[in-house]
Amino acid sequence: MRLILDLTAAILAVSLVGCQTRQASSQTEPKRARQAQGQPVEAELPPPGNPVVGRKPPMPAPVVRADVPEYRVETFASGLVIPWDMAFVSQNRVYVTERPGRVRLIGNGNLQPQPYATVDVLARGEGGLMGIALHPKYPNPRWVYLMYTSRKGGTPRNRISRFTDTGAGLTDEHPLVTGIPAGNIHNGGIIRFGPDGMLYAGTGETGQPELAQDRSSLGGKILRMTPEGRVPPDNPFSGSLVYAYGLRNVQGLAWNPKTGDLWATMHGPTGEFGLYAMDSVFIVPKGGNAGWPRALGVTGLKGVVQPVLFYPGVANPPGRAIFYTGSLMPGLSGNFFFTSLGGEHLERVVLSGPRMVSRIERWWQTGEQEGRYGRLRAIAQGPDGALYISTSNRDGRGVVRPGDDKILRVSPK
């Protein structure tokens, strides 16, 4: 009998210690978003200040194609100022965001002289008017979403707002998320609706690398929200918009139409920790940690998402990204594309499996970080199946050519 009593007392003592430990942990980390049940465990990362740099994943050497003779490139629009993103309402109606704060309308192939809408932005450095997305059931409702750097409230912040499209302009702004960190650099800015009907946003860490690992911050993340800006109940971290983290600067999001996987592009370091280049593309799982600023490349670290593409040599900073799904150019079906800003080319990635890259091409690259059309930023597939690509030569980092900035249309010859 005594043995049973002693054993019962020991079990009660252990249980009490466990409860006290859990309570203390909860009190010391009140601001940290708690990980939802069943999600991946915490990543095993080195301490700050000394990133682990891994190897490249299996990927072929890029094939440089200064000329791509099977496709025609023509100017769809010209005279734009840093076109950041675009959204097709129809083949004859395209909205284009300009970083200084204007939404431009291309109607029936003509750039309208007056802005379709003007947004009060803080256009400083890499900040300003950035991403645009239409509600997946547009025109019912006629909601247009914009991500931009705001000067309201004193401290600059990036925000996501919903507007009503009247057919003559954008009105009735409803801010959805207003607390995204902003800076002169690394603002992210891409917004896209996923196949699940949720709105995703890529953000940057604004030059403060450790923000990417802080789940209480919205910087250096991929966010996921309902069309009304609320936290979906199935997000990986309870009560948080954070879908994935550990990202330096996300400007491209695209879903593989065959698998539903989310692919995200990330700009690599430009001198932080003495590192350069190392731009990456990830297949991002729910709740995933891509490792920045503690890990880059394929490291094998537990709990860290490994890149599907990694460029450790020469910088290849990626802009927007898409999977081609049109019928106009069947030879490109299922290919992943991203624009390269500093690399001045369009990167074509051919897949032989969900994660297997069989060929990489660099369209219109004429030299190391030199291309026929200069810096390329936005890319979209039009309703006609053509590719539409914007230049970004007026952003202070490129060589301005006559007619810049332009939107180029790529179609078969």
pLDDT of residue 1: 39
Alpha carbon distance 128, 361 (integer Å) = 31
Residues in Cβ contact with 412 at an 8 Å cutoff, skipping those fewer than 6 apart:
70, 71, 72, 328, 329
What are 48's two structure tokens? 């700050």
Pair 406, 77: CB distance under 8 Å: yes
Residues making up the chain, counted from first to last:
413
pLDDT of residue 153: 82
Alpha carbon distance 162, 180 (integer Å) = 15
What percent of the residues of the chain are helix, what percent strand, and what percent coil, each to the nearest 5? 10, 40, 50
One digit per residue, the tens of pLDDT, for the chain of length 413 reads 333 334 333 333 333 334 333 333 332 233 334 444 445 568 999 999 999 999 999 999 999 999 999 999 999 999 999 999 999 999 999 999 999 999 999 999 999 999 999 999 999 999 999 999 999 999 999 999 999 999 988 899 999 999 999 999 999 999 999 999 999 999 999 999 999 999 999 999 999 999 999 999 999 999 999 999 999 999 999 999 999 999 999 999 999 999 999 999 999 999 999 999 999 999 999 999 999 999 999 999 999 999 999 999 999 999 999 999 999 999 999 999 999 999 999 999 999 999 999 999 999 999 999 999 999 999 999 999 999 999 999 999 999 999 999 999 999 99
Residues in Cβ contact with 202 at an 8 Å cutoff, skipping those fewer than 6 apart:
188, 189, 190, 191, 221, 222, 247, 250, 251, 252, 253, 264
Residue 215, CA distances (Å) to 154, 237, 240 in order: 24, 9, 8
| pTM exceeds 0.75 | yes
For CA atoms 205, 209, 215, 216, give the dihedral sign. negative
Half-sphere exposure of 296 toward its Cβ, with a 13 Å CA cutoff? Answer: 23
Alpha carbon distance 203, 153 (integer Å) = 20
Q: Assign a CATH topology to domain 62-412.
A: Neuraminidase (2.120.10)
Residue 243, CA distances (Å) to 80, 128, 232, 305 in order: 33, 24, 10, 13
Alpha carbon distance 273, 268 (integer Å) = 12
Distance of alpha carbon 4 from the chain centroid: 60
pLDDT of residue 39: 56
Beta-strand ranges (E) seen in 285-404 are 295-296, 309-311, 318-323, 336-340, 345-353, 356-363, 365-367, 370-371, 376-381, 387-391
Place of tokens 């699940």: 196
pLDDT of residue 42: 86
Range 264-287 burial, b when 16+ CB lie within 10 A, else e: bbbbbbbeeeeeebbbbbbbbebb
SS3 14: helix
Beta-strand ranges (E) seen in 152-294 are 157-165, 170-181, 191-193, 199-202, 221-225, 242-245, 250-255, 262-266, 279-284
Of 319, 315, 309, 318, nearest in space to 369 by CA: 315
Residues in Cβ contact with 330 at an 8 Å cutoff, skipping those fewer than 6 apart:
none
